[in-house]
Chains A and B, each alone.
Chain A
Amino acid sequence: MNWAELIPDLMEALKITLIMTFSSSLIAYLIGLPLGVLLVVTRKDGIMPAPTFNTILGVVINFLRSIPFIIMLALLFPVTRAVVGIAVGETKAIIFPLVISAFPYVARMVEGSLDEVDHGIIEASQSMGSTNWQIISKVMLPEAVPSLINGAAISITTILAYTAMASAAGGGGLGTMAIVDGLNIRNYDVMYAASLLLVALVQIITVLGSGLTRRLDHKKR
Chain B
Amino acid sequence: MLEIFKKRKAEPVQPAVQPGHPDCPIIELKNLRKVYQVPGGEVVALNGINLSIEKGQIYGIIGMSGAGKSTLIRCINKLDAPTEGQVLINGKNLLAMDKKELLKTRRRVAMIFQQFNLLMQKNVARNVRYPLEIAGVDEEQADKRVMELLKIVGLEEKAKAYPAQLSGGQKQRVAIARALASDPEVLLCDEATSALDPMTTQSILALLQKINQEMGITVVLITHEMAVIRQICEKVAILDGGNLVEEGSVDDVFMHTKSAAGRRLFGILPEQEETPVQSALRIVFDANAASQPMISKLIKDMDVDVNILSADIHQLNGKTYGQMMIGRPDDPVEVKRIMDYLRNAGLTVEEVHAS
Chain A contacts to B: CB under 8 angstroms: 118, 120-121, 123-131, 134, 138-139, 142-143, 145-146, 216-221
Q: CB of B30 within 8 A of chain A?
A: no
Q: Compute how far the CA of A146 lies from the CA of B133 in the bound complex, rounded to whole angstroms.
A: 22
B103 A220 Cβ-Cβ under 8 A = no
Instruction: Say yes or no: A129 contacts B134, CB within 8 Å.
Output: yes
B173 within 8 A of A: no
Answer whether residue B117 sits at the interface, using C-beta atoms and an 8 A cutoff: yes
Q: Is the CB of A217 within 8 A of B107?
A: no
Query: Given A124-B111, A127-B110: A142 and B121 within 8 A (CB)?
Result: yes
Shortest beta-carbon distance, A141 to chain B, in Å?
Answer: 10
- Whether A125 touches B79, Cβ cut-off 8 Å, given contacts A142-B121, A142-B122, A218-B162, is no
**Selected A-B contacts with CB under 8 Å, 6 pairs:** A121-B120, A127-B111, A128-B110, A139-B119, A146-B121, A218-B162
Tell me if B164 and A221 are in contact (CB < 8 A): yes
In the bound complex, CA of A169 to CA of B33 (Å): 63
Contact B130 A218 (CB under 8 A): no
Q: How far is the CB of B121 from chain A (nearest CB, A)?
A: 5
Which residues of chain A come closer than 8 Å to B77, judged between CB atoms? 127
Contacts of A121 in B (CB 8 A): 117-120
Name the one of B104, B111, B120, B178 contacting A218, with C-beta atoms under 8 angstroms: B120
Give me the 10 closest cross-chain CB pairs, A-B, nearest first: A124-B117, A129-B106, A129-B107, A218-B162, A127-B111, A120-B117, A129-B103, A221-B164, A219-B120, A128-B131
Q: Which residues of A contact B182 (CB under 8 A)?
A: 128-129
In the complex, what distance in Å separates the CA atom of A127 from the CA atom of B120?
17
Residues of A within 8 A of B110 (CB): 127-128
Q: B residues 68-119 with Cβ under 8 Å of A?
A: 77, 79, 102-107, 109-111, 113, 115, 117-119
Give bound CA distance, A124 to B119, whole Å.
Answer: 9
Q: Name the residue in B105, B111, B165, B182 with the highest tally of chain A Cβ atoms < 10 Å from its Cβ.
A: B111
Q: A120-B113, A219-B164 are in contact. Are A128 and B107 (CB under 8 A)?
A: yes
Does the CB pair A143–B121 fall under 8 Å? yes
Report how many A-B pairs have Cβ atoms within 8 Å. 81
Interface centre among B79, B106, B119, B162 (most CB of A within 10 A): B119
Say whether, besides A218-B162, A219-B121, A125 and B107 are in contact (CB < 8 Å): no
Q: What residues of chain B lie closer than 8 Å to A138, measured between beta carbons?
A: 130, 133-134
* Beta-carbon contact of A127 and B106 below 8 Å: yes
In-complex Cβ contact of A125 among B102, B105, B109, B130 (8 A): B130
For window 265-320 of chain B, which residues contact chain A by CB distance below 8 Å? none
Q: Which residue of A lies closest to B179 (CB)?
A: A128
Centre residue among B103, B165, B178, B179 by max chain A CB count within 10 A: B103
CA distance A131 to B136 in the complex (A): 12
Contacts of B118 in A (CB 8 A): 121, 124
CA of A81 to CA of B303, assembled, Å: 109
Apart from A143-B121, A146-B121, A218-B122, list 12 A-B contacts with CB within 8 A: A121-B117, A123-B117, A126-B79, A126-B106, A128-B107, A128-B110, A128-B134, A129-B106, A143-B119, A219-B120, A219-B121, A219-B164
Q: Residues of B contacting A220 with CB < 8 Å?
A: 164
Q: Which residues of B contact A142 (CB under 8 A)?
A: 119, 121-122
In the bound complex, residues from chain A placing their C-beta under 8 Å from that of B105 are 129
Among residues 213 to 269 in chain B, which have CB atoms less than 8 Å away from a CB atom of chain A? none
In the bound complex, CA of A125 to CA of B111 (Å): 10
B176 CB to closest chain A CB (Å) equals 12
Cβ contacts under 8 Å, A146 to chain B: 121
Q: In the docked arrangement, what's the CA distance between A217 and B133, Å?
A: 22
The smallest beta-carbon distance between A29 and chain B, in angstroms, is 19
Pick from A128, A131, A143: contact of B120, CB below 8 A.
A143
Chain A residues whose CB sits within 8 angstroms of the CB of B133 once the complex forms: 138
User: Smallest Cβ distance from B167 to chain A, in angstroms?
Assistant: 12
CB neighbours (8 Å) of B162 from chain A are: 218, 221
Known: A129-B103, A130-B134. A218 touches B117 (CB 8 A): no
Q: Which residues of B contact A145 (CB under 8 A)?
A: 121
The answer for the CA separation of A124 and B107 in the assembled complex, in Å, is 11
Contact with A along B125-155 (1 / 0, CB 8 A): 0000011011100000000000000000000
Contact of A123 among B79, B109, B119 (CB under 8 A): B79
Partner of A134, one of B134, B164, B165: B134
